[in-house]
Amino acid sequence: MRTPRNSPPEHDGFAFVLFGGTGDLAMRKILPALYAAHRDDMLAPDGRIVSVAQTALDHGGYLKWVEEHVKPHLPGTAIDPAVWEGFLERITYVALDASQPDSFSLLREALATGRSRRIFYLATGPALFVPICRALASAGLTVGSRVVLEKPLGYDLESSNAINDAVGQIFAEDQIYRIDHYLGKEAVQNLLALRFGNSLFEPLWRRDWVESIQITVAEELGVEGRGNFYDQTGALRDMVQNHLLQLLAIIAMEPPHSMDADAVRDEKLRVLRALKPVTSEQIRQSVVRGQYHAGAIKGVSVPAYQAEAGVGEHSTTETFVALKVEVENWRWSGVPFFLRTGKRLAGRLAEIVINFRPVPHSALGPMALRPGSNRLTIRLQPNESIRLSALAKQPGTGMTLQGVHLDLAFDQFFQQERMEAYERLLLDVIAGRLALFVRRDEQEAAWRWVAPILADWASQDNPPKPYAAGTWGPAAASALLARHSTCWQEEEN
């Protein structure tokens, strides 16, 4: 039986308007997250969901679509038919063309009853963000409302600013929720608790005691039918500019004076502005760009990236990036942050590894001087956990050291099902909590930092380095760390 949440439901009514209501993101993530919140009694009884898409379906046809495409992605194993039917009763479907402002009269009619707060979730391509916001304003639907913008928000700094400028003319900054689902993960929240709720780690969380930090987000999947989108985006825009730099900012930030939204985001912004700029010469030394070729994932053959549907035959879009980043401030100066992300890698993994410096002198033999003997590993997926690695004496005669681990597996310690990232973030939107969403100046700082890399790749004859699907990426990614006398965690053994 599921343990009740430790937070009360949102009692005020709401209308959650989901643009892209027949799309992949809506089916796999957003509607399953709303179902979980409904199942756990976290939604107001009169809260409703209005799905919007261009697909010509009536109300019954849309509910059949939801039945077919959402149920396979629902959390948990058993689905209570009564709970599912209650969830479906919240849903209304409106078929309209988001690029045609006149059609928004249909949405206005659907929202005419009640005085619920309105939340507009734009699970569409970024090209529709501005037209949708302008049409909402023309229909008189934006006053007191909130808008959620999915990534990618633009293609570069210029296009991101253009979208933010246009949306900012319609919605105030405190009405805009730029979502990054990694910030809603339980382990990321526990990273904040670990750092700022315990005196044990804070004195060690600095250059004097930390040798290096690794952040990895690895996927086994390829482009999964999204070749047209991904070939115009690539791993740097899709993952580094948002997810990985946000994780870096949380790791490196100073303690905020409170957990209020702007207090937290101010500290993240200071980190992003302190990132050491990269020159063309440094890019060639500190950034690895890769693209997967044909290989095998868990024994199943998979095609090369260039053979994927929607991908150009001679595409140079990167599916892998590894890079060394430095934070130029008193706490972190000289500590390398190694970031890595890629598709068709050897495993599905998202983790942060804090490598502490070895002891300066050991009377216990070379084991105590080995890099990585003391480390903290924060696993974000697939199984959220925190592991502290240390050294202990082996039983028996003599003083032989062996690595041991102190583990906190959240699903074992806390006897309740974990809240998924999207569920937490959607409840925060409904409640008006902004702390886990990206502020515009954060986003600009991240785009500004990656801009020289994008420009260098566009101007240089520097094609991605090949790697076989099912491996951990190009050999150059290992060489990057080897130049700093370290290695990726999975390479140690």
71 assigned ligand-binding residue: no
CATH classification of 183-417+439-491 is 3.30.360.10, yes or no? yes
Each residue's pLDDT, cut to its tens digit, for the chain (493 residues) gives 344 454 545 446 899 999 999 999 999 999 999 999 999 999 999 999 999 999 999 999 999 999 999 998 887 667 889 999 999 999 999 999 988 999 999 999 999 876 678 999 999 988 999 999 999 999 999 999 999 998 878 889 999 999 999 999 999 999 999 999 989 988 788 888 888 888 888 889 999 999 999 999 999 999 988 888 899 999 999 999 999 999 999 999 999 999 899 999 999 999 999 999 998 888 989 999 999 999 999 999 999 999 999 999 899 999 999 999 999 999 999 999 999 999 999 999 999 999 999 877 676 666 666 766 789 998 888 877 888 887 777 787 777 776 777 776 666 666 566 788 899 999 999 999 999 999 999 999 999 999 999 999 988 777 899 999 999 999 999 999 999 989 999 888 6
151 assigned ligand-binding residue: yes
405 assigned ligand-binding residue: no
pLDDT at site 1: 36
Does 257 qualify as catalytic in the annotation?
A: no
Distance of CA 428 to the CA centre of its chain: 16
Q: How far apart are CA 487 and CA 479, in angstroms?
A: 8
3-state secondary structure the chain: CCCCCCCCCCCCCEEEEEECCCCHHHHHHHHHHHHHHHHCCCCCCCCEEEEEECCCCCHHHHHHHHHHHHHHHCCCCCCCHHHHHHHHHCEEEEECCCCCHHHHHHHHHHCCCCCCEEEEEECCCHHHHHHHHHHHHHCCCCCCCEEEECCCCCCCHHHHHHHHHHHHCCCCHHHEEECCHHHHCHHHHHHHHHHHCCCCCHHHCCCCCEEEEEEEEECCCCCCCCHHHHCCCHHHHHHHHHHHHHHHHHHHCCCCCCCCHHHHHHHHHHHHHCECCCCHHHHHHHEEEEEEECEEECCEEECCHHHCCCCCCCCCCCCEEEEEECECCCCCCCCCEEEEEECCECCCEEEEEEEECCCCCCCCCHHHHCCCCCEEEEEEECCCEEEEEEEEECCCCCCCEEEEEEEEEHHHHCCCCCCCHHHHHHHHHHHCCCCCCECHHHHHHHHHHHHHHHHHHHHCCCCCEEEECCECCCHHHHHHHHCCCCCCHHHCC
324 assigned ligand-binding residue: no
219 assigned ligand-binding residue: yes
Token readout for 307 is 């053979």
343 assigned ligand-binding residue: yes
Query: Which among 243, 293, 314, 361 is annotated as catalytic?
Result: 243
The pTM is what?
0.91
Q: Say which CATH class 14-150 falls into.
A: alpha beta
Question: Domain-by-domain residue ranges, the chain?
Answer: 14-150, 183-417+439-491
